[in-house]
């Protein structure tokens, strides 16, 4: 695959330079991304917070397209947490919902062009009806795409996901002979998570320099590599994603075990 085919004309050439150094055989199967720093980006520029959210759309577009081009099978973006829904002013949450509706309409042609399939996780049923309808429309329009799966985490919280999973397990058992012989193990829990059709993330990226997971995919990120950048989300671009993947490829993943000793060691 040539760089000219992979990096469109006019894109930052730094992206091409980093791409050239990647091992395409070790691209993460699933990248999770905590998009943070919109408010600080706006504050630094003496702008209202919503200006940061609006500017973040360009970061989403660049990141999604770059991930699809280099062959990342799955990308999950933490777009809107359950805590955001409860604790942010209504004016801000209302703006975010309208921004989401516009994003889905405007970006659909790009998603199709890049063969991206759109999915969602979170308590979608608690979002405004018109937002749910736009979400369903966009998902259905990309359902036949066979490339990267882009998952938007909306009204999402890892603890509420686990609560929902355990409730699903109990309901299923109650409808299938009762819970007396129910055996809960990791495989069973995994089958009831929102992400049951996705591999666990290999890499989680957080922008804005914060060192926390913020209730994001707590079960699934048990063995993910963590990469934190000081870059605020509205300034994040495809090359920053490639930098994170480059760093990921330098690490040795042990999953709680030890590295195999070299053959010549006694």
Q: d(Cα 54, Cα 83) in Å, to the nearest integer?
A: 20
* Residues carrying an active site annotation: 36, 84
Q: Which residue has the tokens 């736009």?
A: 134
pLDDT category at 14 given cuts 50, 70, 90 is confident
- ∠197-126-38 over CA atoms, to 5°? 80
Entry pTM: 0.90
Q: Give the pair of three-digit tokens for residue 179.
A: 């819970």
Nearest alpha-carbon partner for 120 in 91, 93, 150, 92: 150
Q: Residue 260: what pLDDT? A: 61
Q: Which residue has the higher pLDDT, 203 or 179?
A: 203
Percent of the chain with pLDDT over 90: 79
Q: Rounded to whole angstroms, what are the CA distances from 104 to 12, 133, 134, 172, 229? A: 25, 11, 7, 34, 27
Mean of per-residue pLDDT scores for the chain: 90
* Over residues 98-115, mean pLDDT: 96
Strand-pairing partners, residue 112, are none
Q: Where are the alpha helices (DSSP H) in the chain?
A: 3-6, 13-20, 38-44, 49-70, 82-87, 90-113, 129-141, 158-174, 186-191, 238-249
Cα–Cα distances in Å, from 129 out to 125, 217, 252?
8, 25, 45
Q: What is the pLDDT of residue 257?
A: 66
| Position 254 confidence tier, pLDDT thresholds 50, 70, 90 | confident
Sequence-distant (6+) residues with CB within 8 A of 198 are: 30, 74, 76, 149, 151
CA-based nearest residue to 52, from 63, 66, 36, 64: 36
Quick one: pLDDT at residue 195? 98
In tens, the pLDDT along 162-196 reads 999 999 999 999 888 788 888 899 999 999 999 99
Asked if residues 12 and 1 have their Cβ atoms less than 8 Å apart, the reply is no
Indicate whether 253 pLDDT > 90.
no
Q: What is the pLDDT of residues 31-70, one digit of tens each?
A: 999 999 999 999 999 999 999 999 999 999 999 999 999 9
Token output for 12: 């930052």
């Amino acid at each position: 695959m040539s760089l000219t085919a992979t990096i469109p004309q006019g894109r930052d050439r730094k992206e091409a330079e980093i791409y050239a150094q990647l091992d395409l055989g070790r691209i993460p199967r699933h990248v999770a991304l905590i998009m943070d720093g919109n408010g600080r980006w706006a504050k630094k520029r003496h702008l209202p917070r919503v200006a940061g959210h609006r500017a973040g759309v360009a970061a989403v577009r660049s990141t999604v397209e770059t991930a699809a081009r280099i062959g990342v099978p799955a990308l999950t973006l933490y777009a809107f947490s359950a805590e955001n829904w409860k604790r942010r002013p209504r004016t801000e949450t209302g703006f975010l919902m309208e921004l989401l509706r516009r994003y889905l309409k405007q970006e659909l042609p790009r998603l199709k062009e890049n063969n991206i399939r759109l999915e969602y996780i979170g308590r979608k049923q608690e979002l405004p009806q018109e937002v749910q309808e736009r979400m369903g429309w966009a998902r259905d329009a990309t359902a036949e795409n066979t490339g990267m799966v882009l998952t938007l985490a909306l009204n999402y919280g890892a603890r509420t996901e686990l609560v929902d999973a355990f409730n699903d397990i109990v309901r299923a058992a109650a409808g299938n002979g009762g819970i007396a012989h129910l055996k809960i193990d990791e495989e069973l829990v995994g089958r009831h998570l929102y992400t049951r059709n996705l591999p666990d993330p290999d890499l989680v990226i957080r922008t804005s320099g914060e060192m926390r997971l913020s209730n994001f995919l707590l079960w699934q990120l048990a063995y993910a590599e963590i990469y934190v950048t000081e870059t605020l989300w509205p300034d994040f671009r495809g090359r920053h994603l490639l930098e994170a993947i480059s760093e990921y490829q330098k690490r040795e993943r042990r999953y709680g075990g030890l590295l195999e000793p070299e053959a010549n060691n006694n």
